[in-house]
Structure 1
């Protein structure tokens, strides 16, 4: 074979394919920032308490409803009672999408959870994991 001829080797073809695939995957991904929830604000600890992050104002969490803040769902099943839950669906690991109609809803496969995290409708069979929250003044704080 002369130096003027182009030679295709298996290694060359596989390497080129890998480079093209990596470039295509990189082009198809996003930074994920366009739907990101703002980071909770650090709240100083009171006497005998550890510091936590402010998740939401109590007035922003409707009775019989809730809000999703990052990896936490905060609900208010009854007036003045706040519950912290993981925002990760126990069925397939998707992030739950909304809190409406008295349920926490995952749109990946249709699972619904009650405001206490228990399963209302499957395919999920396990409840959402509990996350500790507390009320400090007019804010719901993690931890």
Structure 2
């Protein structure tokens, strides 16, 4: 007697734990969401929201501070008047979503890592890697993902 092994057979045979692992492993490789992927200097892949998406107007980004866009997982800062920077809003320590921008740093709520608003460099650990830069463009007064 021969048996044809199907995904359903494997899922039934592996139980809940195995099924969870298999379903996670079966995640599609393709992505039609319009998101962009970049690779950080550390080799980690980061994903931001749809390219060309308007994030904010320039006047929404405080000079000496910044704003976190949670849905897009991007933080935009303005270290000096007219100087706009963008970084991944995912902490390089344990991949928590960054939560605030204050006193010249972008702050992680999970373990206290802080990153400089000017270049994404680590200002305070436990993170040891800087935030990967994200690409933005400015069209008129509008800041967009590149």
Query: TM over 0.5: same fold?
Result: yes
SS at match of 2:53: strand
| Residue matched to 2:31 | none
| Residue matched to 2:65 | 65
| Residue matched to 2:145 | 142
Provide the aligned C-alpha RMSD in A.
Answer: 1.6
| Residue matched to 2:88 | 86
Task: Please state how far the C-alpha of 1:93 moved relative to its aligned partner.
Answer: 0.5
Distance 1:65 1:139 in 2: 17
Task: Please state how far the C-alpha of 1:107 moved relative to its aligned partner.
Answer: 1.0
SS at match of 1:52: coil
TM-score by length of 2: 0.62
SS at match of 1:127: coil
Task: Please state how far the C-alpha of 1:123 moved relative to its aligned partner.
Answer: 0.3
Q: Is 1:99 the counterpart of 2:101 in the alignment?
A: yes
Distance 2:75 2:60 in 1: 13
Task: Please state how far the C-alpha of 1:74 moved relative to its aligned partner.
Answer: 0.3
Distance 1:61 1:127 in 2: 21
SS at match of 1:134: strand
Task: Give yes or no for contact 1:102–1:114 (8 Å, CA) kept in 2.
Answer: yes
Segments of structure 1 that go 5 or more residues without pairing to the other structure are 1-14, 19-50
TM-score by length of 1: 0.64
Segments of structure 2 that go 5 or more residues without pairing to the other structure are 1-14, 17-50
Distance 2:60 2:86 in 1: 15
| Residue matched to 1:133 | 136
Q: Deviating runs (4+, > 4 A) in structure 1?
A: none
